[in-house]
Amino acid sequence: MRPFVFAAGTAVVTGAASGIGEALAHGLARRGSHLVLLDRDTDRLAAVAAAVRTAYPDRQVHTHVVDLADPAATDRVAEAIRAAHPRVRLLVNNAGVALGGRFDEVTLDEFDWVLDINLRAVVRLTHALLPALKAEPGAHLVNVSSIFGMIAPAGQAAYAASKFAVRGFTEALRHELVDDGIGVTSVHPGGIATAIARNARVGSGVVREEYERSLRQFEKLLSIAPATAAEVILRAVARRRGRVLIGWSARLPDLLARVLPVGYGRVLALAARPAHRPVRVASRPAGPPPLPTREQA
């Protein structure tokens, strides 16, 4: 497959109002792409679009405010994009949300909210825009999963379920679309310094004080700048790479899961304990708070 060409193509990016999505918008514009940006945050999305237009006045920048948790709204936006842009060269399904708490501490409605945004919106947008990708020679699809699409720590049942599913969905599409000349990349970020953990929902049954303590400890691991992550993703698109792990905080857990496919959970639990606490094997860890990845939808 030939290298991807950014210049003069239309790129659709979800979760574009902050974090990796915002950085992707600037990186794509710098490479010559026209943009269609989606997010639920009206003000921040407008600010990102204005900044891109100011920096790159020759680029076309269109925005759509949408809550990807709403299937009907997602379908309407997808149809509007397809009508306005019958050819799409790049689709980046980047939006995502987090939910803190073990499975028995969250409601099914909270669980479904994560699946609606992290998985079902990815499926709906991809299905609706696939004809536009097929109409554009040399098109490419990027789905942002997570390192929690490789490992599934305690406290992340909803998020891991969604991101493992995104990984499987993306890998199947990679095999299906190769004959159409469409490249497909699955992205697995590690500790990216975005607001997703801080902005995560907290399960209805979670003790807030304990969650906040874990969150403060966990946020220390979020050290990779969103702009760095965006550049890694865009270089991978240019080279048509099928899978990308961003940072050692993604590569090391991936390696751990390969070496200890069943037993890695105990290692993660020990690593998550505060240093001043004694290690008691019989006790159950609270699990890490929400993820080291991505954006708000």
pLDDT at 171 over 60: yes
Average pLDDT value over all residues in the chain: 88
Q: Give the least confident one: 89-98, 161-170, 247-256.
A: 247-256
pLDDT at position 264:
87
pLDDT at position 223:
66
pLDDT grade for 296, boundaries at 50, 70 and 90: very low
**Integer Cα distance of 105 and 203 in angstroms:** 6
pLDDT tens digits along 221-250 = 666 889 999 999 999 999 999 999 998 888
pLDDT at position 266:
83
**Integer Cα distance of 238 and 161 in angstroms:** 29
- 129 and 50 in contact (C-beta within 8 Å)? no
Q: Is residue 114 part of a domain?
A: yes
pLDDT tens digits along 257-273 = 999 999 888 887 777 66
Q: Is residue 249 part of a domain?
A: yes
pLDDT at position 77:
98
Q: Is residue 279 part of a domain?
A: no
pLDDT at position 297:
37
Of all residues in the chain, the percent with pLDDT exceeding 70 is 84
Q: Which domain holds residue 121?
A: 10-272
- 163 and 145 in contact (C-beta within 8 Å)? yes
Q: Is residue 207 part of a domain?
A: yes
**Integer Cα distance of 193 and 293 in angstroms:** 8
284 secondary structure, DSSP code: P
pLDDT at 8 over 80: yes
58 secondary structure, DSSP code: T
Q: Is residue 195 part of a domain?
A: yes
> Which sequence positions are flagged as catalytic?
159
pTM of the model: 0.88
Q: Is residue 149 part of a domain?
A: yes
pLDDT at 281 over 60: no
The structural domain count of the chain equals 1
Q: Is residue 50 part of a domain?
A: yes
The CATH number given to whatever domain includes residue 145 is 3.40.50.720
Cα 130 vs. chain centroid, distance in angstroms? 19
Average pLDDT over residues 126-133: 98
Report CA-CA distances (Å) from 48 to 42, 201, 209. 10, 24, 34
Q: Is residue 221 part of a domain?
A: yes
pLDDT at position 277:
45
